[in-house]
Structure 1
Amino acid sequence: MNTKKYLIAGALALTMSAPAMAQEVNYAKALEPITAALKAAPNDPKAAKDLIKEYQKTFKKDEEAIVALGNVYLLQHNFTEAEALANSVINNKKFNGSKAYVLLGDIAAIQDSIGNAGAAAQQYQTAISLDPHNVTAYERYAKVYRHVNSKVAVAKLEELRKVEPNYPVEATAAEIMLNDGKYKEALAWYNKANPANMSEDNFYNYGFAAYITKDYQKALDVAKQGLQKFPNSEYLSRIAMMAAVELKDYPTAISYANTVFAGKGKKVSNDYDVYAKALCGNKQYDEAIANVNKALDLDKNNLEPMKTLAAIYTAQGNEDKALDVQKEYLSKSKKATSSDYAALASTYIAKAEGITDRAAKNEVLAKAIAVYEDMITKFPSISDWIWLNEANAAQLMNDPDKVADIYKKVAAFEEAKPSLDEDSKSYLENVYYGLGYYNSKKGNKQEADEYYNKVLKVNPNNENAKKALGM
Structure 2
Amino acid sequence: MKMISKISKLALALSFFGSSVFAQSLDDAKKAIDAEQYQKAKSMLKNLTVTQSSKDENFFYLGWVYLLQDYSDSAKTVFNKGIAVNPKSALNYAGLGAAALVDKDRATATNNFNQAVSLAGKNSKPYVYMGEAYLLNPVNDKVSAADANAAIAILNKGKAINPKDAELLIALGDAYRSQLKSNEAYENYAAATALDPKSAHAKVATGVLWKFANNFEDSEKQFKEALAVDPNYGPAYREWAETDVRWALTDPKMASVKVKEATDNYRKFLSLTDMSEDSRLRYADFLVYAGDWKTLQTEATALSKTSKNLKLYRYLLYSSVENKDYPAAITAGNTWLTKADPKRVIARDYLYMGRAQIASGQDSLGIAALRKAYDLDTTQADVYSEIAKSFYAQKKYEKAGDAYHEYLQKSNKGTLNDYFREGFSYYFAYDPAKPNADTTLLTKADSAFSYVQQKASKPIGDVSLYRARVAEYKDKDRNNIKGLAKPYYEQYISIMTANPPTDDRSKRALGEAYSYLGTYYEYKEKDEAKAAENFTKAREVDPANKQAASYFQRKGGAKGK
The TM-score normalised by the length of structure 1 is 0.56
2:208 is matched by which residue type in structure 1? K
**Distance change in 2, residues 1:64/1:287 (3 Å):** closer
Partner of 2:297: 224
Partner of 2:281: 200
1:367 and 1:344 map into 2 onto residues whose CA distance is: 8
Tell me the number of residue pairs that the alignment of Structure 1 and Structure 2 aligns. 381
- Write out per-residue CA displacement over residues 164-197 of structure 1, whole angstroms, 9 at most, x where no aligned residue: 4472545413545889997678987555224542
Equivalent residue runs for 1:254-265 within 5 Å: 254-265=330-341
- Residue 277 (structure 1) aligned with residue 368 (structure 2): no
Alignment partner of 1:123 out of 173, 176, 191: 191
Decide whether the 8 Å contact of 2:297 with 2:319 is kept in 1.
no
Tell me the SS of whatever aligns to 2:183.
coil
Percent sequence identity is 18
- Residue 406 (structure 1) aligned with residue 492 (structure 2): yes
1:142 is matched by which residue type in structure 2? G
**Distance change in 2, residues 1:289/1:296 (3 Å):** same
Decide whether the 8 Å contact of 1:244 with 1:253 is kept in 2.
yes
Decide whether the 8 Å contact of 2:216 with 2:247 is kept in 1.
no
Deviation at 1:227, TM superposition (A): 1.1
**Distance change in 2, residues 1:100/1:300 (3 Å):** closer
Partner of 1:415: none
1:152 and 1:248 map into 2 onto residues whose CA distance is: 39
Alignment partner of 1:29 out of 79, 89, 92: 92
Deviation at 1:85, TM superposition (A): 0.9
- Write out per-residue CA displacement over residues 325-383 of structure 1, whole angstroms, 9 at most, x where no aligned residue: 5456656777654343232233246558x9899xx9x9988975653222223x434x5
Whose RCO is larger (CA < 8 A, sep 6+)? 2
2:491 is matched by which residue type in structure 1? D
Deviation at 1:76, TM superposition (A): 0.8
Structure 2: which 5+ residue stretches go unaligned?
1-22, 27-47, 62-78, 80-88, 101-105, 108-112, 134-149, 271-278, 473-484, 515-532, 542-561
2:317 and 2:235 map into 1 onto residues whose CA distance is: 27
Deviation at 1:282, TM superposition (A): 1.8
Partner of 1:153: 219
Equivalent residue runs for 1:63-462 within 5 Å: 64=125, 75-76=152-153, 79=156, 82-87=159-164, 99=167, 102=170, 115=183, 119-126=187-194, 129=197, 132=198, 134-146=199-211, 147=213, 149-161=215-227, 163-165=230-232, 167=234, 169=236, 171-173=238-240, 175=242, 189=258, 191=260, 192-194=262-264, 196=267, 197=270, 199-208=280-289, 210=291, 218=292, 220-228=293-301, 230-231=303-304, 237-238=313-314, 241-242=317-318, 245=321, 250-265=326-341, 266-292=344-370, 294-295=372-373, 305-327=383-405, 336-348=414-426, 368=445, 371-377=448-454, 379-381=455-457, 383-384=458-459, 386-388=460-462, 390-391=464-465, 405-406=491-492, 408-409=494-495
1:301 and 1:111 map into 2 onto residues whose CA distance is: 17
2:116 and 2:54 map into 1 onto residues whose CA distance is: 25
1:105 and 1:364 map into 2 onto residues whose CA distance is: 54
1:113 and 1:243 map into 2 onto residues whose CA distance is: 33
Deviation at 1:230, TM superposition (A): 4.1
Deviation at 1:240, TM superposition (A): 5.5
The TM-score normalised by the length of structure 2 is 0.49
Structure 1: which 5+ residue stretches go unaligned?
1-9, 41-46, 90-97, 211-217, 413-427, 449-471
**Distance change in 2, residues 1:193/1:283 (3 Å):** same
